[in-house]
Chain A
Amino acid sequence: MAEIRIEHLRKQFGSFVAVQDSSFVVHDGEFLALLGPSGCGKTTTLRMIAGLELPSSGKIYLDGEDVTFNRASARDIAFVFQLFALYPHMNVRKNIGFPLLSQGMPKAEIRSRVEETARLLQISHILDRSVSGLAGGDRQRVALGRAIVRRPKCFLMDEPLGTLDAEFREVMVHELRELHNRIHATTVYVTHDQHEAMAMADKIAVMNHGVIEQFGTPQEIYSKPATMYVADFIGSPPMNFMRFTASLQKGARTVCLDGIDVAVPEVRQDMAEGELALGVRPEHIRFSDAALLRGAVYGSEYLGTNQIVAIETRSGLIKARVPANRNFRIGETVGIEFNHTNLALFDCSSGRAVDSTLYSGVRHG
């Protein structure tokens, strides 16, 4: 197993910049999710690590070795494709054994390695079947088997659960994480699904337009978003933004929102007058009749354990996640308060978060 290090990686297709200037490290045994919408450059990044695409500039190190221009077959990595790419003219056993065959491994050893892998993935019973008749989950397991049989330096997965139906996807998310816990393989996993990323990854890189917006643990990404894009992309419903115009001084502990002072984590940088946004997660909003900030109930969405209530305020529509035991009438006026330690501030012009004590311990900017 190995560490993957990427330095200033850039990829251009003609005039289109797919990946701008990515740098990150995936430590040995870590599970990194590259998360972002389609076309954000996450798959291109993955394919460059795999050697299926050559970078326009930048370096890729595997275990300290510069592999930027090595051919894919010389990198000792495994790749799980979105459509699995199981060889249709081979049965399950041959598919899994195919990477070993290229190494000139003796037949008997291939056989035992394939069977061991099949046991690990619980697919021993389908080893001699043709791959064309397999169900989605089994195809997925065979693809994984082909990846792990070789014990490569790292695994790269390109939306491997994308084609499975929702119910089955949850099972596979669980299985994949289990597998990772057992074999501790350095993994880079590309997905556009935040739930998959959150549930499986040790680290997440959120990408947009070829740029890594934030790189951090799922907790950091969720509660300490570095940009408005990340705050908006992660969470459902996403973070609320309440826009206002003000200037900020270092050490400020309140901001003035529509004439009302709202407590925020201590600001650690000066900001000139400009449009700002107060970022608040739906679950950090509670109702209080005494609160100064008021709004009218616009609608509610019952979710069982809790409900999402949309409130029309003078700073825009915001959504709150509150206990399900209270009924709201549409149009009813409510007072709202925030868990002030969890609030984030953003500079609307750059989209970046304003540094505050919320970001203690996080690489900022």
Chain B
Amino acid sequence: MSSANSAHSVVEPSLTSKRVAGAIVILYALITLIPLVWIFLTSIKSPPDSISYPPKIVFTPTLEGYCNLLTTRTRQTPEYIASLPAPTGTCDEVTRKRNMVIAGPSNFLPRFVNSLVIAFGSTFLAVLLGTLAAYGFSRFRVPLADDLLFFILSTRMMPPIAVAIPIYLMYRELGLSDTAIGMILLYTAVNVSLAVWLLKGFIDEIPREYEEAAMIDGYTRLQAFRKVVLPQATTGIAATAIFCLIFAWNEYAFAALLTSGEAQTAPPFIPTIIGEGGQDWPAVAAGTTIFLVPILVFTILLRKQLLRGITFGAVRK
């Protein structure tokens, strides 16, 4: 009878407590979302609106920020603009209102593609190497395994930027400066230690009986790894991939130091967007908004695996 009141019993939460919990979650979500909402709102403001004080909550949305982000423009006389044929698109129209014409595409798109290539490339490599290394450490008797694992972890102990100068010199010597390969290698090197440690935990959790069963069922160790271990490690691999991707995607310091042209990624590029008479805030905000999309998509795509990871312990055994 009294068990429902005892401290250790698991009881169905009451409606009130559910509502309170819900309200707290919503409040927290709002607080964390405000900066993101602000960035998005700025991206659809006109340049004067974006710097007006007090800040405007109500304004006429415009795509000017996105146009400025994706194009380069030149100032022309109103007479010249009037002599041009009718504008062909929204951007044309917006630009002409400011007495400018579109001169060509900006560098944003190639920089964004660089970011995609480098971040996904290094994530793929780090997770691939991490999975194999973690499996090795988890299943085989590796000589000095503990020392090696500590060594792998210790590569993360120094702030990465502390080695920036040596890496800059080495990269210049090796011709890796301002190359996508160089950046992929660098981010892989930073991420692989995280990947090994995270994945080792996940793989340790998978009983080795599964592989032994598969090997007895006629498969080689590699086949057993692929058909039995990997499917069960997807959760861990997904979580690790997201961590690696977020790091590689957001990394600024090395990107700013080692890339300037061909291989420049979006983070060092976005702050360099300059409009007439100062920073073009709507364009910067537009770049940031677009920059947020891939991580969002990737996380949403993998959310099933991630959620399963969270509930894994509860379902098993």
Residues of A within 8 A of B (CB): 50-52, 71-73, 75, 77-79, 81-83, 85, 87-89, 98-99, 102-103, 132, 146, 150
> Can you list 10 A-B contacts (CB < 8 A)?
A52-B212, A71-B215, A72-B215, A81-B209, A85-B210, A87-B210, A87-B231, A98-B214, A99-B217, A102-B223
Tell me the smallest distance from the CB of A168 to a CB of chain B, in Å.
18
Contacting residue for A102 out of B207, B209, B212, B218, CB 8 A:
B218
Query: Which residues of chain B come closer than 8 Å to A98, judged between CB atoms?
Result: 214, 217
Q: How far is the CA of A301 from the CA of B62 in the complex (A)?
A: 92
Contacting residue for B213 out of A71, A81, A103, A132, CB 8 A:
A81
Does B20 interact with chain A (Cβ within 8 Å)?
A: no
Contact, CB under 8 Å: B207 / A73: no
Query: Which residues of chain B come closer than 8 Å to A72, judged between CB atoms?
Result: 212, 215-216
Query: Which residues of chain B come closer than 8 Å to A73, judged between CB atoms?
Result: 215-220
Instruction: Write the chain B residue with the least CB distance to A77.
Output: B216
Given A78-B216, A87-B228, A89-B231: A132 and B210 interface contact (C-beta under 8 Å): no
Query: Which residues of chain A come closer than 8 Å to B231, judged between CB atoms?
Result: 87, 89
Query: Which residues of chain A come closer than 8 Å to B11, judged between CB atoms?
Result: none
Query: Which residues of chain B come closer than 8 Å to A102, judged between CB atoms?
Result: 217-219, 223
Those 7 A-B pairs whose CB atoms lie nearest each other, nearest first = A102-B218, A99-B217, A85-B209, A85-B213, A89-B231, A72-B215, A79-B216
Given A89-B231, A99-B217, A146-B217: A79 and B210 interface contact (C-beta under 8 Å): no
Query: Which residues of chain A come closer than 8 Å to B228, judged between CB atoms?
Result: 87
- Contact flags (1/0) for B217-245 with A, using CB distance below 8 Å? 11110010000100110000000000000
16 new A-B contacts at CB < 8 Å, known A85-B213, A150-B217: A50-B212, A50-B216, A52-B215, A52-B216, A71-B215, A73-B215, A75-B216, A79-B216, A81-B213, A85-B209, A85-B210, A87-B213, A98-B214, A99-B218, A102-B219, A146-B213
Does B315 interact with chain A (Cβ within 8 Å)?
A: yes
Contact, CB under 8 Å: A132 / B315: yes
Q: How far is the CA of A236 from the CA of B217 in the complex (A)?
A: 39
Instruction: Write the chain B residue with the least CB distance to A83.
Output: B209
Contact, CB under 8 Å: A81 / B215: no
Tell me the smallest distance from the CB of B172 to a CB of chain A, in Å.
48
Most chain B CB inside 10 Å of its own CB: which residue of A73, A77, A78, A98: A73
Most chain A CB inside 10 Å of its own CB: which residue of B212, B220, B231, B315: B212
Contact, CB under 8 Å: B232 / A88: yes
Tell me the smallest distance from the CB of A36 to a CB of chain B, in Å.
21
Q: How far is the CA of A132 from the CA of B219 in the complex (A)?
A: 23
Tell me the smallest distance from the CB of B185 to a CB of chain A, in Å.
34
Tell me the smallest distance from the CB of B315 to a CB of chain A, in Å.
7
Q: How far is the CA of A146 from the CA of B214 in the complex (A)?
A: 11
Q: How far is the CA of A125 from the CA of B212 in the complex (A)?
A: 28
B side interface size, CB within 8 A: 17
Query: Which residues of chain A come closer than 8 Å to B218, judged between CB atoms?
Result: 73, 99, 102-103, 150
Tell me the smallest distance from the CB of B234 to a CB of chain A, in Å.
9
Q: How far is the CA of A75 from the CA of B220 in the complex (A)?
A: 12
Q: How far is the CA of A79 from the CA of B209 in the complex (A)?
A: 10
Query: Which residues of chain B come closer than 8 Å to A71, judged between CB atoms?
Result: 215, 220
Instruction: Write the chain B residue with the least CB distance to A98.
Output: B217
Given A73-B220, A102-B223, A132-B315: A85 and B215 interface contact (C-beta under 8 Å): no
Tell me the smallest distance from the CB of B204 to a CB of chain A, in Å.
16
Query: Which residues of chain B come closer than 8 Å to A146, judged between CB atoms?
Result: 213, 217
Interface residues of B in 2-19 (CB under 8 A from A): none
Tell me the smallest distance from the CB of A350 to a CB of chain B, in Å.
38
Contact, CB under 8 Å: A81 / B212: yes
Interface residues of B in 64-95 (CB under 8 A from A): none
Query: Which residues of chain B come closer than 8 Å to A81, judged between CB atoms?
Result: 209, 212-213
Instruction: Write the chain B residue with the least CB distance to A47.
Output: B212
Query: Which residues of chain A come closer than 8 Å to B212, judged between CB atoms?
Result: 50, 52, 72, 79, 81, 85
Query: Which residues of chain A come closer than 8 Å to B213, judged between CB atoms?
Result: 79, 81, 85, 87, 146
Query: Which residues of chain A come closer than 8 Å to B215, judged between CB atoms?
Result: 51-52, 71-73
Q: How far is the CA of A72 from the CA of B218 in the complex (A)?
A: 7
Query: Which residues of chain A come closer than 8 Å to B220, judged between CB atoms?
Result: 71, 73
Q: How far is the CA of A121 from the CA of B197 in the complex (A)?
A: 43
Q: How far is the CA of A51 from the CA of B216 in the complex (A)?
A: 8
Query: Which residues of chain B come closer than 8 Å to A132, judged between CB atoms?
Result: 315
Q: How far is the CA of A216 from the CA of B228 in the complex (A)?
A: 39
Contacting residue for B207 out of A52, A85, A150, CB 8 A:
A85
Tell me the smallest distance from the CB of A258 to a CB of chain B, in Å.
54
Query: Which residues of chain A come closer than 8 Å to B315, judged between CB atoms?
Result: 132
Q: How far is the CA of A52 from the CA of B215 in the complex (A)?
A: 9
Instruction: Write the chain B residue with the least CB distance to A79.
Output: B216
Q: How far is the CA of A81 from the CA of B208 in the complex (A)?
A: 11
Q: How far is the CA of A98 from the CA of B217 in the complex (A)?
A: 7
Q: How far is the CA of A343 from the CA of B310 in the complex (A)?
A: 62
Q: How far is the CA of A132 from the CA of B228 in the complex (A)?
A: 15
Tell me the smallest distance from the CB of A247 to a CB of chain B, in Å.
53
Query: Which residues of chain B come closer than 8 Å to A51, judged between CB atoms?
Result: 215-216
Given A52-B212, A72-B212, A88-B232: A83 and B217 interface contact (C-beta under 8 Å): no
Q: How far is the CA of A150 from the CA of B223 in the complex (A)?
A: 18
Q: How far is the CA of A81 from the CA of B207 in the complex (A)?
A: 11
Q: How far is the CA of A98 from the CA of B209 in the complex (A)?
A: 15
Tell me the smallest distance from the CB of A143 to a CB of chain B, in Å.
9
Instruction: Write the chain A residue with the least CB distance to B210.
Output: A85
Query: Which residues of chain B come closer than 8 Å to A87, judged between CB atoms?
Result: 210, 213-214, 228, 231
Query: Which residues of chain A come closer than 8 Å to B232, judged between CB atoms?
Result: 88-89
Q: How far is the CA of A82 from the CA of B209 in the complex (A)?
A: 9
